[in-house]
Amino acid sequence: MGAKKNKKKKKKVSAKKEKYSKFHKEKPGTPDISMPDLTDEQMKAKREDEEFISFALRVNRNPPTKEIVERKMKSKR
């Protein structure tokens, strides 16, 4: 049987790790993503853009492709 390990004994740190440890930065677990505060003009422009996009998506629907239209016409016959 093997001998028991001494738990109080410190682990060896390699010289290379010790030398380059100053270059490793602590990184937070979760990134902090927050939107920047917008000025009144920017908020107005953003709102107008969103309104235009919602209008365009509502009105400018793409017509179905020719094959789909033909398939529907055949099924109605």
What are the distances in angstroms from CA 6 to CA 1, 11, 12, 27, 61?
16, 11, 13, 32, 74
| Whole-structure pTM value | 0.38
Q: Is a pLDDT exceeding 60 seen at residue 1?
A: no
pLDDT tens digits, residue range 20-39?
888 877 777 777 788 888 89
Looking at residues 38-57, what average pLDDT do you find?
92
Q: Is a pLDDT exceeding 90 seen at residue 18?
A: no
Give the C-alpha separation, 60 to 63, whole Å: 9
CB 13 within 8 A of CB 20: no
Give the C-alpha separation, 45 to 57, whole Å: 18
Task: Supply the pLDDT for residue 70.
Answer: 85
Q: Which residue has the tokens 């677990």?
A: 29
Task: Supply the pLDDT for residue 2.
Answer: 62
Query: Domain extents for the chain?
Result: 39-77
